[in-house]
Amino acid sequence: MNYLTPSLAEEILKAMGKKEVIEVNLNLYKDNKKEKVFLKEDKAIFPEGEVEKEILKKIAKDNCVYFIKEGRVYKAAIAKDGYYKLVPTIPPTIEINGIRMHRTKELNPYEDTLNKINSVGVRKGEKVLDTCMGLGYTAIEAYKRGGEVVTIEKNPNVLELAKINPYSEELFKGDIKVILGDAFDVVKKFSDEEFNVIIHDPPRFSLAGHLYSEEFYRELFRILKSGGRLFHYVGNPGKKYRGKDLQKGVMERLRKVGFTKIKRVKEALGVIAEKP
């Protein structure tokens, strides 16, 4: 597939009428490869197909990833049970009903992922559970560090966008186990002390309160090995304007089900804990 972003569409539009060919990256900068795009007055000819000038103008104004496949142009967005789209950050993130899955203001989605992974560390040979897959950056990074990775994704629309995203392709090569389902239910099927590391990065509390519950934490405690580590992304929703401290409540519930060495990880907007 060839991928188009608003900035790339704008670059191509500016070159039209001035150049006959332009070399650009068509893989969302996953690599440094550049490919030739041939320019006409009314269209651009990509390796995967032609795109009319009017379509390029539309893409240039739309904060979404587009892609060309088998000669046709598609928008990486799904309007089903809400609105889901692939946002052209590098690497991309998903926006669901206007809410982005990754932090993108202070850092990019990959740096966001590293903060979470680094907070617990993943060592070669450890079994890792990533409870909320999204685009799979956490699962992929854990696998690259030698982990045996299981990841869970509840939403089939998110799974479909992950299949489009070039940065997610390692998810579907067979070495990472992907489970479609609600983590709240899926974790009940795992054996006692099955995982060395759990990375829990749920949607915000208002959208998935059950994934912040004592009942769910008790299951995470059960499936974690003795000495195992948990990272729990929490964020700070409401803290700035309403004085709420959601992390404090999370820490209290984790302690109640048996976790120890619980502390905040400021740079990752979450907490870490261990099973004694």
DSSP H stretches of helix in the chain: 6-15, 53-60, 109-120, 137-144, 156-164, 183-186, 214-223, 239-242, 246-257
- Distances, alpha carbon 155 to alpha carbons 94, 130, 134, 160, 180, in Å: 12, 15, 9, 9, 7
Which residues are paired to 24 by β-bridges?
Answer: 35
For residue 191, the 8-state DSSP code is P
| Whole-angstrom distance, CA of residue 261 vs CA of residue 276 | 9
| Whole-angstrom distance, CA of residue 228 vs CA of residue 199 | 11
Residue 4's nearest CA partner among 79, 78, 84, 63 is 63
| Whole-angstrom distance, CA of residue 46 vs CA of residue 61 | 20
Question: What pLDDT was estimated at residue 11?
Answer: 97
Residue 216, pLDDT > 50, answer: yes
Residue 156's nearest CA partner among 180, 137, 175 is 180
pLDDT tens-digit map of 217-238: 999 999 999 999 999 999 875 4
pLDDT tens-digit map of 76-87: 999 999 999 999
Gyration radius from the chain CA atoms: 21
Residue 271's nearest CA partner among 116, 91, 76, 44 is 116
Residue 63, pLDDT > 80, answer: yes
pLDDT tens-digit map of 70-123: 999 999 999 999 999 999 999 999 999 998 888 888 899 999 999 999 999 999
Question: What pLDDT was estimated at residue 246?
Answer: 84
- Give the mean pLDDT of the chain: 94
Q: Which amino acid is at 8?
A: L
With pLDDT > 90 as the criterion, what percentage of the chain qualifies? 88
Question: What pLDDT was estimated at residue 240?
Answer: 46
- Answer whether 0.85 is exceeded by the pTM: yes
